[in-house]
Chains A and B, each alone.
Chain A
Amino acid sequence: MSAAAEAAFFGAKVMIVDSDLRLGGQLIKQTHKFFGSAFERAGTRGFVISDMLLDELKGYGDRVETYTNCTALGYYKDDGVVSCMEGEENYFKVLPKKILVATGAQERLIPFPNNDLPGVYGAGAVQTLMNVYGVVPGKRILMVGAGNIGLIVSYQLLQAGVEVAAIVEAMPRIGGYWVHAAKVRRLGVPILLEHSIKEALGKDVVEGAIIQQISPGCGFIGEEIHVDCDVICMAVGLNPTCELLWQAGCEMKYIPQLCGHVAIRDRSMRTTNPNVWVAGDAAGIEEASSAMVEGRIAGLSMAHELGYVEDKEYREKSALYWERLNALRNGEASAKIREGIAQVLMESSGGMER
C-alpha cells in the first residue's frame, strides 16, 4: 500500500493484487500503538494506519486499481506475464511494466508430539480470529515464543479477557521489545526463559501441554511442567514469502538474520530482475514501520524508472527515506537486521545513478 501510494503520487498507474478480503495486510490485526517516529505514525494503532493508507490510495482515484481475494499465482519469466486468480472463478493474466513483490511472510511452526491437534494455532490465526472477526480462540493459552509477536498477541489476549498461562521462550532473554514484555509481566503472565514446549496433550483437542527447560545445546533438562490450557499459540518466527521472486529468477540468498531466503537488492529495493522490486517482510523479516518505508522507497524507484520522477527529486526523496530507514534500524533490537541487510544489499543495478 505504501509503494502504491508513493508511485501513484507521481502519476504511475498501479494495480494492487491481494489474496486477503481487504487491503491492509497484518496492519488490520494490530490493535497496539506503533513505535517509530511521527513519520511512521508512531503512537497510532496499526489498524488505524491501515485506514490512513487506504484513504491515501482512494485520493488517487482511478490511478490505483485494487483486486482483493485475488492471488498472484505465477510469474512467467519469458514474457513477464503474471497470472492471477480472483475468487474461485476469475482467472486472468496481467503484463505489468514493473512489479513489486510485497507478499509478507509465513509463520514457522516447530515440531512436537500432537502439534496437529485442533487448538494449536499460529499467532497470526489467533490475531485474525480475535482482532478481525471478534472471536476468542479459547479460555487459557500457552504462548510459545517471546518475540514481539508472542508478546503483543499475549497482551491482546489479555485485553480480550483470555487467560495467558505462560509464555515460554527458548532463548535466555526475550526477543521482542523489553517494554512489550513488561506490559504482560505486570499483568501476571510468567515468561519462562530457556523453556520450550515438549508435547501437546489431548485426544481430540488440546487439553494441556508439557513444557520443560532446555539446555544451551537445545536438549530438554529438568522437571517436566504440566500446563493447563486449551490453546497453544505458536509465535516462533516467520519466513519471507518469496515464491514469486524465485519464479522471476531473482538472485536469492539464505540470510539467517532475515529469517530465510531473500532477494539480493540494491538501495532502491530492485532485485537482480530489472523489472522486479521487493519490500517488507518478503525482503527480510522486520518491523512493520521499516516495511512501510521500504515500500515508499520501492514505489518511488518504480515511478522513477517509468519516467514519472525527475532525477533530482528522486535522489533527494530516496535519501530522506533511507535516513528514516537507517534510524529505525539503529537500535539494539535491530543488530541482526543490520547484519542481514549488509549481506543482501548490492551496488546499484543502474536504477540509482543514471
Chain B
Amino acid sequence: MSKSEGLYNSGVLPPEMYEKHEPPKELWESKKNGLVFVECPQRIPCNPCHTGCPTGAIKEFADINDTPQIDYEKCTGCAMCVAKCPGLACFVADLTYGGDEEALLKLPYEMLPLPNEGEEVECLNREGKVVSKGKVLKVVEPWKDKTKVVHVVVPKSFVMEIRAIRVVRSR
C-alpha cells in the first residue's frame, strides 16, 4: 500500500486530492464570506448538503449516491451545509478575511467544551496533528440541532490543512 493509499483508505484526504476539492482560486480569493469545499470523495446515499443549501450552490443530485457538485458562483459561504452534513465533510474558508497572513475557517464542531469567542485554540490537520494556533471569532448553531460551526482565524498557509480545532484549558 502506497503512503497515499494508506492515508485515503483510513479516512485522510491525501495531498494530491486537495486540488480537486478546492474552489477555483480567483473567485475564492475575492469572495467575501468565503466559499465551501466538500471533502466527500466516496459515493454514499446522502444529500442533506444539497437540501440544506439555501442558494442552490450545492447542486441537486441526479442519483443520491453522487458526490456533491458545487456551483461556486452561487455559494455565499453561509456554512449552513457545514452544520447540516451528517459526515461533517463541508468546510468554508474565507480568504478575504485577514489580509495576506490570515484567513477565516468555518468548521463543524460537536465536542465539549465549546470554545469561547476570542479564545485561542489548537488547530488540527486531517490526522489530528496540531499544526497551528487559531483564534475563535464566534460559535454559531445554524440549525439549532447541537452541531456548531466554529469561525476560527488561522494562518492563511494552513487553510488546506486545518480541519478541526481543540479547546485546551489548563485545570
Instruction: Please give the residue numbers on chain A whose beta carbons come within 8 Å of chain B beta carbons, in ascending order.
Output: 32-38, 42-43, 45, 146, 151, 158-159, 161, 169, 172-174, 177-189, 191, 193-194, 289, 327-334
Chain A residues lying within 8 Å of B32, measured Cβ to Cβ, are none
Chain A residues lying within 8 Å of B88, measured Cβ to Cβ, are 179, 182-183
Knowing A34-B86, A43-B52, the reply to whether A174 touches B63 (Cβ < 8 A) is no
Q: Interface size of B by Cβ–Cβ distance < 8 Å? A: 43
Other-chain contact of A186, B41, B84, B126 (Cβ < 8 Å): B126
What are some 27 contacts across the A-B interface (CB < 8 A)? A33-B147, A35-B44, A36-B64, A37-B45, A43-B85, A45-B145, A161-B112, A172-B9, A178-B44, A179-B85, A179-B89, A180-B11, A181-B11, A182-B87, A182-B88, A185-B11, A185-B127, A186-B126, A186-B127, A187-B128, A188-B124, A188-B127, A188-B129, A194-B1, A289-B45, A327-B45, A331-B65
How many angstroms from the CA of A158 to the CA of B124 in the assembled complex? Answer: 15
On whether the beta carbons of B13 and A328 are closer than 8 Å, the reply is no
Knowing A35-B46, A177-B44, A333-B44, the reply to whether A182 touches B126 (Cβ < 8 A) is yes
* A interface majority secondary structure: mixed
Determine how close the nearest CB of chain A comes to the CB of B98; give it in whole angstroms.
22
Other-chain contact of A193, B1, B43, B48, B85 (Cβ < 8 Å): B1
Chain A residues lying within 8 Å of B128, measured Cβ to Cβ, are 185-189
Chain B residues lying within 8 Å of A187, measured Cβ to Cβ, are 111, 124, 128, 164, 166
On whether the beta carbons of B111 and A159 are closer than 8 Å, the reply is yes
On whether the beta carbons of A330 and B11 are closer than 8 Å, the reply is no
Knowing A186-B128, A331-B43, the reply to whether A173 touches B9 (Cβ < 8 A) is yes
Determine how close the nearest CB of chain B comes to the CB of A103; give it in whole angstroms.
24
Chain A residues lying within 8 Å of B147, measured Cβ to Cβ, are 33
Other-chain contact of B43, A37, A45, A159, A332 (Cβ < 8 Å): A332
Chain B residues lying within 8 Å of A38, measured Cβ to Cβ, are 47-48, 51
How many angstroms from the CA of A151 to the CA of B46 in the assembled complex? Answer: 18
* B15 proximal to A (CB < 8 A): no
On whether the beta carbons of A179 and B87 are closer than 8 Å, the reply is yes
Chain B residues lying within 8 Å of A193, measured Cβ to Cβ, are 1, 6, 9-10
CB-contacts of B124-171 with A (<8 A): 124-129, 145-147, 163-164, 166
Chain B residues lying within 8 Å of A183, measured Cβ to Cβ, are 11, 87-88
How many angstroms from the CA of A24 to the CA of B167 in the assembled complex? Answer: 34
Contact with A along B48-81 (1 / 0, CB 8 A): 1001100000000001110000000000000000
